[in-house]
Amino acid sequence: MGTVAILGAGVMGETLLSGLIRSGRRVDELVVTARRPDRADQLAEQYGVRAMSNVEAAEVADTLVLVVKPQDMGGLVEEIRDHVSPGNLVVSLAAGIPTAYLESRLPAGVAVVRVMPNTPALVDEGMAAVSPGRSADPAHLEEAAELLRSCGRVVQVAEKHQDAVTAISGSGPAYIFYVVEAMIEAGVVLGLPRPTATELVVQTLFGAATMMRETGQHPTVLREQVTSPGGTTAAALRQLDDHKVRAAFITAMEAAATRSHELASGND
């Protein structure tokens, strides 16, 4: 994979950097840039990597990982475009930026891969979806996927599905936190101390997710195993159905996908 430059080492950029180092990547093959020079210097000192300007990083790197906010992408590409060669791989982690946007602004033939990560990458449990641009071949796609595997799991999707990915896994942690908040509040309402309610909910969530991953069983089967006829779980689930919680979740994710599409359309 050669030298990897992470351009825009904020929270997600640092997450990727630390994941790559933990996975065995040599620090002399890693370069970071940041909007603030002191931030880049701090990362260089902490991780033993090289800190450079965006232009310097583009000149020395084989793979450029763009981890800036969508509104900053245009300026970054304009800055580095004359220093990127057709042999480079450009991996974009910016939400709502299509590969065509980057391809039209970079030299012809530069391979571009679009990635939608999510925040559990911070604890090496991220879920990322990768989509190739027109010039990206299977080897480029595998290089991008290998980068993201350093802090979680990776799937490949057609770029037309990235809006759905954004709605499901990109925004998904927020939905889970929202449900967890509600369950903790319910525990408090029912008389439990907040720390106790929090521990009960968080471990229940972790255990349920682990069961789904390790058993491979459909969630409907697992739910039915918990739901005794006429029991407490059945009573609770009836209330959720009466309040159309399932439909609300589907509608919410459709809204997220629609918004993702709107943002991407503005960056064509």
Binding-site residue set for NADPH: 54
User: Residues marked as binding for NADP(+)?
Assistant: 7-12
User: Residues marked as binding?
Assistant: 7-12, 54
Pairing of strands 63-66, 4-7: parallel
Residue 267 burial (CB < 10 Å; 0-12/13-18/19+)?
middle
Closest CA to 77 of 97, 50, 49: 97
CA angle at residue 24 from 132 to 61, to 5 degrees? 50
Alpha-carbon distance 110 to 90, whole Å?
Answer: 7
Q: Which SS3 state, helix, strand or coil, does residue 112 take?
A: strand
Alpha-carbon distance 135 to 166, whole Å?
Answer: 23
Alpha-carbon distance 68 to 72, whole Å?
Answer: 6
Q: Say which DSSP state 126 is in.
A: E
